[in-house]
A and B are shown apart, each in its own frame.
Chain A
Amino acid sequence: MSDTKKETPGQLTGGANAAAGGRNQGCEECTRREFFARLGIGSLIMAGAGSGLFSYEYFSPNVLFEASPIVKAGKPDQFAPNSVTMDAQSGIYLVSSAKGFYALGAICTHLGCLTAWKPELDLIACPCHGSRFNRDGIKVAGPAPQPLPWFKVWLADDGYLMVDRSTYLKVQEFVKV
């Protein structure tokens, strides 16, 4: 308090806050009590931030025992022409069309339920909230906000069709065999 009185009126009107902040910044005129209180608060803030970071790191697993995104779908001759074959385990549809093979994600884009192929309707249907998709993955009914994703498909050297569930295609690609 005493040092603010020493300041000129000009300084006071211009930057009372800045002057107060400046006075405290280096803690040059702190009492011992203020100094230790600041040290304590600062340490608590650092400890709190450290605990937050520690918890976040601790609760994020570094190693996951989840299935590989790349799956072996089968040999091309296993799939009948113009068919939709679901693999529930890996959550994909392998579609054999006139243009070639492609793969769709079977996880509904609404809330993540596993969809099912309904041959009698020629549609992919989700049991949870009634979304329906055609065999190109385009939504035809229901709450799904996006079409089913197209995954990257390629023919491996051993003659198997491979699907990478982590690579989403932006443009439709077909694998001719």
Chain B
Amino acid sequence: MAFAAVLVIHYLGGWLDLSGDTRLQSGFPDVEARLRARIAELEQQLQARDEFLSIAAHELRNPMHSLLLQVSAAVQVARQQEVQPLVRRLERVQQIVDRYVKRASLLLDVGRMNATQMRPHVEPVDFAEVVREVVESYAPEAVFNRSPLNVKIPSAVCGRWDRLALEQIVSNLISNATKFGAGAPIEVTLTSKRDGKVQFEVRDRGIGIADVDQERIFGRFERLSTQAGHPAGAGVGLWLVRGLVESHGGSIAVHSAAAQGATFTVLLPLDATPYT
């Protein structure tokens, strides 16, 4: 029993500080040596995984970039030739590929790190413009899912954030709402608060989230089961959103009840610079 307790303490010491030599001193030199060897082995495996993800990110981004360029060139040609049906189709391709590239890039980046360690690249951004662009790109999906987007946002909300992160936060919340909105309108609001914060809110009237699931859904690889069937999605969307929000010094909360819709509220400081 005592031996087991020592093992647990040593293991925790390793977890808390892998390089902390002083933590792993005990009267069990064999155990200590084995633990050190195991920790070194795990560190090597982590490094190998990070290297692989870096290469994978590069290999996946490069052809996507070429694809985007080719599609935008094709759009130009179709416009010049005035082939309207082709212009419309190619613009949709462009929109879908663009969304995929952004999502894949960010996922590959955050896959290498803990969500709380994300380092945003802050720059002057108009949050209202980001919301307008995302809403416009999701409008066809919203109509298709019979959950139109009702938007209430000021003409401009200027601050300092990571633009790509804002796009991901807004996209993920709106995409979830359209898919789980159960055919009712979705309210999207953006407001500047008096305390130097900005509040972004997405409210649907869909299937909702039971109390027991509300904290769990922000976890990595956690998913809500669909009411009848297999979970939809990889279960990283809300984990990613929370990580991105927190990396800006912000917070996210959900208010919901089963079958009564869900409201996701994001609060961000107007200037995220001090948190990066």
Q: Do A and B form a real pair?
A: no
Residues of A within 8 A of B (CB): none
Residues of B within 8 A of A (CB): none
